[in-house]
Amino acid sequence: MAPIVRPDIHTPFHIDFGWFEQNGRDLREEMYDALCEECRALYPSPAEKRLVDRVDPETAQVMRVDALWECLADHCGQKPGFITPATPLTTAIFRALLANENRPLTPEQLHRRIGKSNPNSILRVLMGAQIENGIVPAEGDGKQV
Amino acid sequence: MVGQPTDFWNQLGSNDADVEHLYGFLLERGTPANSRDLAVNLIEWRVHEEERRLAEIAARRAPVYQPKETYSVGQSILFTALGNREGFVRRVRDADNPRLGLFQVIGVQFDDEPNLLEFASSYAAPHPLNQEIAPTAITLDLTAEQAVETFADKVRGNLVQRLGADKEFVHLGDQWYLKGLLPEINPGYLNLAEAAVEQTGDAMTTGELLKILDLPETEKRSAMRFGLNLALSHDARFEDVGPMNETRWFLVRLEPPEAHERPGILDANQVRTVPLSSELETIADELVDKADSVGNGHQSVAPRDEVTLILTYPHRRAGTLPLTPLVRALLPDFSHPRLRFTFVDATTEEKVAGYAVTEGNYLAGLTNWFASRRLSPGAYITLRRGPRPLTLIIEYQSQRERSLWVRVARGINGRLLFSQEKRPLSHKYDEEMLIVVADPVGLDALARAQAEQRNLQPLLDEVFPELAKLSSSGHVHAKTIFSAVNLVRRTGPRAVFSALAESRSFASVGGGYFMLNEEARR
């Protein structure tokens, strides 16, 4: 098997949902915390899993998706206050991935999205001794040598 | 379709419908076509088909899908965001999303989808598809010309792979045709072709063979030509030795062995090279030899009409010359393993069959020419572009025969020895490179012993003092060392000069000369 090289600023990262279970944390709670007031009013309980119709922003195709994800991707995540200069770096990275529907982002892309720090510092945070908010290199996207 | 270029165009040429279309195209055309023409035809056909389909949809007045519109069951809609696919509304339901408010969801049936796909309708929120559309919006994303320009190479690659696996298609090089349309070339015709080539004693074009064979005119001329070429290419007696875009057939058994298999004496071990001084680099350039190169010898060079080479012993013995990029530029381009051409002696106009051989990069066919002119390693050979295609003028610089004091090499008791002797010479030569070989058999024995040797240093240590003793100053030119090393081991000048430059036994004294250093002399 080819060894996996050390991730760099071009390595995509995503949220590992399994990490939340293993570490006794509730991903839905974290997602709920990121919702705006308007969406919290619509969905008062993070524990309630509800599917809603989501309209694709390009094709208008409708898919049934989790209501919290739909809010984060299409509403709250698009608002200017979702990530601000005052948002701590680890929270900003986590929120950027939530707003991107957990599609993997590289430190370079994260930097452009959150508009603070720099790709190398973001990489250092992501590769720190402790995994923050379950964010790990996306499986299969790590470069091989 | 056209709206999904990467998916659609990148797969064009891979499916049964495409193959079926090209089958019909070749059937109607009745002559072979190259893969690019096939790709262009396929792309143009698909674009026209798509234009026709869109025109049909337009004629049916199917509306273009917009989320803000309301649709009813049974209605057909054109989805521009899905590559102008047409779908039929099969069901309508209320949407479920408290954040987005009231709108509807239509279930749409597409031809190539097993399940209904759902789309928003009566959806007034801002959406790119809700913008006003011009009546001309239902058009292809690109014209046939644009599609050809962008995707022809990819489609061509797909076609080559797909048609290559299809029993109905045959190809020769990049010409494709239908097996069922091939003219019948029976063994009798091939025997006749063999006799014709043998009688002519030279390669023959397909056209010349067709005239002789007098095949029944059941097909177009180009199809006959393709069929005969295909049959000859599958017959091991024949080989295409023609230049690019001209098929010329010759008999393998009439080719000299050295043209068919690289002579062992031309084998060169990989020897490391180091950056050389500008002086040695200039000399190495002058002695360009393919033993130094790792490429195929087909680098692009500014073409010249004339190239002068200095004959080295391996080529003298094998009856060959190096096919350097400059020499190759004197010949027409060729892509087959061998190109057959004619050497024409500049003085006598004697004609000698020559072969440019890709594998090993050499020109073959000169064994008798070298021998009859009694050329020694170091002789100048000039090659010139011939007045007619497939000819190469060859010339050595002859002079009145005189007895001269020259270096003479012998292999005695496993050692390469040199002496200064008076020998008759009738050609001009490079003073530093000239070595007359007195004992080819003895040198062969030494060459066998050298075959496994990787390091040049022991050979240099043996040869250098032998050559130095022939000079009152004890100086030996780098070219002389190169010529001497090549008596027993084919090695490029850069490799020899690198070993010289790196060795502690020798010291450069300028002008390309070296001497033994004090320690080595002791």
Tens-place pLDDT, residues B448-478: 888 777 788 899 999 999 999 998 899 999 9
Over range B120-131, report the average pLDDT: 93
Instruction: Clarify whether residues B340 and B428 are in a common domain.
Output: no
**Which of the four pLDDT bands, split at 50, 70 and 90, describes residue B296?**
very low
Residue B30 scores a pLDDT above 50: yes
> CB distance B97–A60 less than 8 Å?
no
- B13: containing domain: 5-58+142-175
* Residue A89, CB-side half-sphere exposure with 13 Å CA sphere: 16
Q: Which residue of A has its CA nearest to B84?
A: A59
> CB distance A62–B100 less than 8 Å?
no
Mutate to test the interface with A, among B99, B109, B117 (most CBs of A within 10 A): B99
Name chain B contacts of A39, Cβ cutoff 8 Å.
99
Going by C-beta distance under 8 Å and a sequence separation of 6 or more, which residues neighbour residue B11? B158
Instruction: Clarify whether residues B410 and B469 are in a common domain.
Output: yes
Would you say residue B162 lies in a domain?
yes
**Cβ-contact B230, B193 below 8 angstroms:** no
* pLDDT at B42 (0 to 100): 93
Tens-place pLDDT, residues B200-258: 999 999 999 999 998 877 778 888 999 999 999 999 999 999 999 899 999 999 999 99
Closest CA to B109 of B92, B86, B128: B86
What is the rounded CA–CA span in Å between residue B209 and residue A109?
A: 66
> CB distance A55–B67 less than 8 Å?
yes
Please count the structural domains in chain B: 5
Q: Which of B67, B96, B125 lies closest to A53 in CB terms?
A: B96
| Closest CA of chain A from B126, distance in Å | 9
Would you say residue B276 lies in a domain?
no
Name chain B contacts of A63, Cβ cutoff 8 Å.
118
> CB distance B81–A60 less than 8 Å?
yes
Residue A145 scores a pLDDT above 50: no
Residue A140 scores a pLDDT above 80: no
Residue B139 scores a pLDDT above 70: no
Would you say residue B286 lies in a domain?
no
Would you say residue B459 lies in a domain?
yes
What percent of chain B clears pLDDT 70, i.e. is strictly above it? 93
Q: Which residue of B has its CA nearest to A59?
A: B81
Residue A4 scores a pLDDT above 60: no
Instruction: Clarify whether residues B425 and B479 are in a common domain.
Output: yes
Q: Which residue of B has its CA nearest to A75?
A: B99
* pLDDT at B291 (0 to 100): 46
> What residues are paired with B408 via a beta bridge?
B419, B436
Would you say residue B43 lies in a domain?
yes
Model ipTM value: 0.85
Tens-place pLDDT, residues B190-206: 999 999 999 999 999 99
Closest CA to B402 of B430, B436, B426: B426
* pLDDT at A73 (0 to 100): 93
Burial A123-134 (b: 16+ CB within 10 A, else e): bebbbeeeeebb
Tens-place pLDDT, residues B56-95: 777 767 788 999 999 999 999 989 888 888 899 999 999 9
Name chain B contacts of A75, Cβ cutoff 8 Å.
99
Question: Beta-strand (E) ranges in B174-237?
Answer: 175-178, 204-205
Instruction: Clarify whether residues B165 and B31 are in a common domain.
Output: yes
Q: Which of B98, B99, B119 lies closest to A60 in CB terms?
A: B119
**Cβ-contact B309, B383 below 8 angstroms:** yes
Instruction: Clarify whether residues B79 and B169 are in a common domain.
Output: no
Instruction: Clarify whether residues B52 and B72 are in a common domain.
Output: no
Q: Which domain-ending residue is among B399, B421, B455?
A: B399
Tens-place pLDDT, residues B482-502: 999 999 999 989 999 999 988
